[in-house]
A and B are shown apart, each in its own frame.
Chain A
Amino acid sequence: MAELMPPDTRRCTYFFLYDGSKVRGEGDPTRQGICYFYPEETPLDKQELMCGQLAGVSRCVSELSSSPVHTLRLRRCKFAIHMMEDFFWALGCSTEVPTVSVCELLDHLINIFCFYNGPIRQSYQLNSKETLAAQWARYLSHVQSGPSEIYNIFRCLRTVDSTTVDPLLLLKAALILQACQRCPLVLTGCILFRGRVVSTQMSPQLTMKVMVQESETYTKSQRSNGASTSCSLGAPVSSTAVFLTTSELQYLQSTPVNKNVSPFSPPLLDAPPKKTRLSRTLSDTPSTESEPPRLQTPQKLSFSPHMSESDDSFSPAPSQSSADSPNTSPQPTRSPLPNGGHAVETEHKLSHHHGFKSNGGSSVFEENQCLNGDDVNGDAARRAVFDLQGDDSGNEQSRDAQMVVGDSGVCFRKAESKHPPPPFTCALDSLEESPLIPKMLYMHRVNGLVLALLVEHGFMSDAASMEEVYHSSLASLNGLEAHLRSIAAATPGTSGQYTFAHYDCIQSTLTTNVSGRSGGAPEHPFVRATSLLHSHFCDTETLQEAIIRNAGVAVYGTRSVAQVTYFQQHSGSLRNSGIPNQQDSAFSLPSKARHRLLKHGVNLL
Chain B
Amino acid sequence: MKCLLIASESAEVLFHWTDLEYQRNIQEQYGASQEEGEELPAFEDILSTLFAPIIISYSTMEDSYTSFTTDNNHIYVLHQFDECLYIAVNGDGEEKEDDLRRKMYVMKKMIEVMFGMVTLSGTLLRKELRPQDTEQRIRLWKHLQNLIETYSHLRENDQSFLVEAVERLIHPMLCEQCIEFLERRLVQQLNSSVERAGEEVLHAFILVHTKLLAFYSSRNASILTTSDLLALIIMAQNMYPSNVDLDDQSPEVTSMAEDSLHALEISPPDPSTPRRVFLDISLKDGLYPMMPHSMYCLPLWPGITLVLLTKIPTSAVALSVYKYLEDFDKLEKRLREGQGSSAAARSPLNMQDVRCKLDKFVKALGPSELQVLEFKNRAFAKNGPGFNKDLIPWCKKMKTQLCGIYRQCFLIDSTDFPQRLSPGLQEGAQAMMQEKLMDWKDFLLVKSKRNITMVSYPRNFPGLVHFICVDRSSGQMIAPSLSITERTTSELGKGPVARFIKSKVWGLVRTTRRYLQKGYSTVTLRDGDFYFCYFLWFENESGYKLDSVDIPVLPDDSPPIGTLACDYYKLLRYYSKNHKGETVKCYELLTVHLGVIPTEIILQHCRQLASKLWEPSRNPLL
Which residues of chain A have a CB within 8 Å of any CB of chain B? Answer: 49, 53, 56-77, 95, 528-529, 532, 536, 540, 542-552, 554, 575-582, 584, 586-587
Contact = CB atoms under 8 A, between A and B. Distances in A.
A156 B253 CA distance: 47
Contact of A56 (B51, B53, B548): B53
A61 B68 contact: yes
A69 B70 contact: yes
B71 A67 contact: yes
Interface of A is mostly: mixed
Nearest to B512: A548
Interface string B531-563: 001011110000001111111000111000000
B177 interface: no
Contacts of A76: 63
B69 A580 contact: no
A580 B537 CA distance: 9
A70 B57 contact: no
A72 B538 contact: no
B53 A580 contact: no
Contacts of B71: 67-70
Contact of A75 (B525, B538, B555, B589): B555
Contacts of B533: 580
**Most chain A CB atoms below 10 A, which of B74, B514, B557:** B74
20 contacts: A57-B54, A64-B51, A67-B72, A70-B70, A74-B61, A532-B518, A540-B511, A543-B526, A544-B526, A549-B522, A550-B519, A550-B548, A554-B522, A580-B603, A580-B607, A580-B610, A581-B607, A584-B522, A584-B603, A587-B524
B57 A77 contact: no
Nearest to B546: A577
B525 A579 contact: no
A433 to B, nearest CB: 16
Contacts of B70: 61-62, 65, 67-70
**Most chain A CB atoms below 10 A, which of B67, B68, B71, B518:** B68
Contact of B545 (A75, A548, A579): A579
B607 A532 contact: no
Given A57-B57, A67-B70, A68-B70, A579 B526 contact: no
A72 B550 contact: no
Contacts of A575: 547-548
Given A65-B72, A95-B555, A547-B522, A73 B91 contact: no
Given A70-B71, A543-B526, A60 B556 contact: no
B60 interface: yes
B347 interface: no
B515 interface: yes
Interface string B208-234: 000000000000000000000000000
B523 interface: yes
Given A60-B54, A73-B556, A75-B557, A548 B520 contact: yes
Contacts of A536: 511, 514
B23 interface: no
Nearest to B523: A548
A70 B89 CA distance: 15
A53 to B, nearest CB: 5
A584 B548 CA distance: 13
Nearest to A99: B69
A548 B533 CA distance: 10
A543 B537 contact: no
A56 B72 CA distance: 19
B548 A49 contact: no
B12 to A, nearest CB: 17
B545 A577 contact: yes
Contacts of B525: 543, 545-546
B551 A550 contact: yes
B518 A551 contact: no
Contacts of A543: 525-527
B65 interface: yes
A88 B528 CA distance: 39
Contact of A58 (B68, B522, B528, B556): B68
Given A75-B63, A550-B520, A577 B548 contact: yes
User: Closest 4 CB pairs between A and B?
Assistant: A580-B606, A577-B545, A545-B526, A67-B72
Given A56-B53, A544-B527, A73 B67 contact: yes
Contacts of A62: 70
Given A73-B556, A551-B550, A587-B603, 13 more contacts: A57-B58, A65-B74, A67-B71, A69-B69, A72-B67, A77-B63, A544-B526, A549-B520, A578-B522, A580-B533, A580-B606, A582-B600, A584-B522
Contacts of B243: none
Contacts of B611: 579
Nearest to A535: B514
A64 B29 contact: yes
A576 to B, nearest CB: 6
A102 B45 CA distance: 37
A587 B64 CA distance: 41
Interface string B451-476: 00000000000000000000000000
A137 B319 CA distance: 61
Interface in B566-622: 589, 599-600, 603-604, 606-607, 609-611
B521 A74 contact: no
B538 A577 contact: yes
Contacts of A540: 507, 511, 527
Contacts of B68: 57-58, 61, 69, 71-73
Contacts of A586: 522
Contacts of A579: 535, 537, 545, 607, 610-611
Contacts of A546: 523-526
Nearest to A536: B511
Contacts of A529: 520
Contact of B29 (A58, A63, A69, A582): A63
Nearest to B65: A74
Contacts of A549: 520-523
Nearest to B528: A542
A73 B66 contact: yes
A550 B521 contact: yes
B50 interface: yes
B449 to A, nearest CB: 29
A57 B70 CA distance: 12
Nearest to B1: A65
A576 B50 contact: no
Given A62-B70, A550-B550, A75 B600 contact: no
Nearest to B603: A582
A67 B53 contact: no
B296 interface: no
Interface in B18-59: 26, 29, 50-51, 53-54, 57-58
B76 interface: yes
A587 B515 contact: no
A103 B547 CA distance: 39
Contacts of B511: 536, 540
Contacts of B69: 69-71
Interface string B494-527: 0000000000000100010011001111111111
Contacts of A66: 29, 72
Contacts of A53: 57, 60-61
Contacts of A71: 67-69
Contacts of B51: 60, 64
A58 B60 CA distance: 14
A61 B29 CA distance: 12
A67 B526 CA distance: 35
Contacts of A552: 550
Nearest to B545: A577
Nearest to A575: B547
A56 B53 CA distance: 8
A532 B525 CA distance: 13
A82 to B, nearest CB: 10
A414 B342 CA distance: 85
B523 to A, nearest CB: 5
Contacts of B76: 61
